[in-house]
């Protein structure tokens, strides 16, 4: 399937500023940050620790809010939403893949994947069908009853990816998705993300320290002290 690019940016940040209070002082993270990402793109964000990568993901997820500026995703202004509206928006449009998987050890793989669907008025039979489908998609068909603690790191990350896409999220935010994996497992996860981007049209923003992970994306943005210092095209 050919990835379609929308004419208007899928993600648009304009004049975004963000700072945090540390005692009596204000620590600026971003000042008038601009960024645009087209729908169906796969973008890696790199930069040293403290450059603002995690803050950027939190803003895109609606977990944190900007002090000033506009944040628009899929035609909706996150900066105009209250907490309840942002939570509903995340449930319908967003999937997150974490470095350390964030799986619940007391649940099976299938039960972990099912969690986002519990927020929706979906019959149990439909939930089970969707869970089985995405576990097949990430190469874990037949492993749904297994506890994640008995899986390898690469398999746990595949469960995390299945959970991120089970509700058909259009945007995937990946926070160092290969940071806890060996090279082969990391390459397998990157191949899976590439498939989701190319074949299913998912828009992906991935924070990473790993140059090989960044090479899997379509392009790389470099953050340094809250400023994009380079916008590097990566060959497809």
- pLDDT per residue as tens digits for the range 127-178: 999 999 999 999 999 999 999 999 999 999 999 999 999 999 999 999 999 9
2-11, 29-38, 58-67 — which is least confidently predicted? 2-11
User: What are the residues whose beta carbons fall under 8 Å from the beta carbon of 51, sequence distance 6 or more?
Assistant: 223, 224, 225, 226
What pLDDT does residue 151 have? 95
Grade residue 7 by pLDDT with cuts at 50, 70 and 90: low
Rounded to the nearest 10 degrees, what angle do helices 153-165 and 124-137 cross at? 130
User: What are the residues whose beta carbons fall under 8 Å from the beta carbon of 105, sequence distance 6 or more?
Assistant: 147, 148, 149
What pLDDT does residue 195 have? 95
Residues 22-50 pLDDT 10s: 888 888 999 999 999 999 999 999 998 88
Grade residue 2 by pLDDT with cuts at 50, 70 and 90: very low
Task: Please determine, for residue 231, whether its predicted confidence score (pLDDT) is greater than 70.
Answer: no
Rounded to two decimals, the pTM is: 0.90
How far is 221 from 223, CA to CA, in rounded Å? 7
Task: Please determine, for residue 4, whether its predicted confidence score (pLDDT) is greater than 50.
Answer: no
What pLDDT does residue 1 have? 36
Query: Where do the domains of the chain lie?
Result: 11-230
What pLDDT does residue 53 have? 92
User: What are the residues whose beta carbons fall under 8 Å from the beta carbon of 204, sequence distance 6 or more?
Assistant: 41, 42, 43, 171, 172, 173, 174, 193, 196, 197, 217
**Superfamily covering domain 11-230:** P-loop containing nucleotide triphosphate hydrolases (3.40.50.300)
Residues 75-118 pLDDT 10s: 889 888 888 888 888 888 999 999 899 999 999 999 999 999 99
Task: Please determine, for residue 234, whether its predicted confidence score (pLDDT) is greater than 50.
Answer: no
What pLDDT does residue 236 have? 38
How far is 210 from 189, CA to CA, in rounded Å? 13
For residue 9, CA distances in Å to 13, 31, 127, 145 come to: 10, 21, 32, 40
- Angle at alpha carbon of residue 60, lines to 155 and 206, rounded to 5°: 40
Please state, as a whole number, how many other Cβ atoms lie within 10 Å of the Cβ of residue 51: 21
What pLDDT does residue 49 have? 85
Residues 181-193 pLDDT 10s: 999 999 999 999 9
How far is 91 from 3, CA to CA, in rounded Å? 24
Q: Which of 11-20, 48-57, 84-93 has the highest mean pLDDT?
A: 11-20
């Amino acid at each position: 399937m050919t990835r379609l690019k929308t004419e208007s940016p899928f993600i648009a940040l304009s004049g975004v500023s963000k700072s945090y209070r540390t005692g009596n002082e204000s620590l600026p993270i971003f000042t008038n940050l601009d960024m645009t990402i087209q729908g169906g793109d796969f973008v890696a964000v790199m930069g040293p620790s403290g450059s603002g990568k995690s803050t950027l993901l939190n803003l895109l997820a609606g977990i944190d809010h900007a002090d000033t500026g506009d944040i628009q995703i899929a035609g909706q202004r996150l900066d105009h939403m209250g907490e309840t509206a942002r939570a509903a928006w995340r449930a319908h449009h967003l999937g997150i893949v974490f470095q350390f998987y964030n799986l619940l050890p007391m649940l099976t793989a299938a039960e972990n994947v099912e969690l986002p669907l519990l927020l929706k008025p979906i019959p149990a039979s439909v939930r089970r069908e969707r869970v089985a489908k995405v576990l097949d998609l990430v190469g874990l068909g037949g492993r749904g009853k297994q506890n994640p603690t008995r899986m390898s790191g690469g398999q746990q990350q595949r469960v995390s990816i299945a959970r991120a896409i089970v509700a058909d999220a259009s945007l995937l935010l990946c926070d160092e998705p290969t940071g806890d994996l060996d090279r082969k497992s990391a390459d397998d996860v990157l191949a899976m993300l590439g498939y989701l981007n190319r074949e299913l049209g998912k828009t992906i923003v991935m924070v990473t320290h790993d140059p090989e992970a960044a090479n899997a994306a379509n392009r790389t943005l470099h953050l340094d002290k809250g400023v994009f210092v380079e916008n590097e095209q990566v060959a497809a």
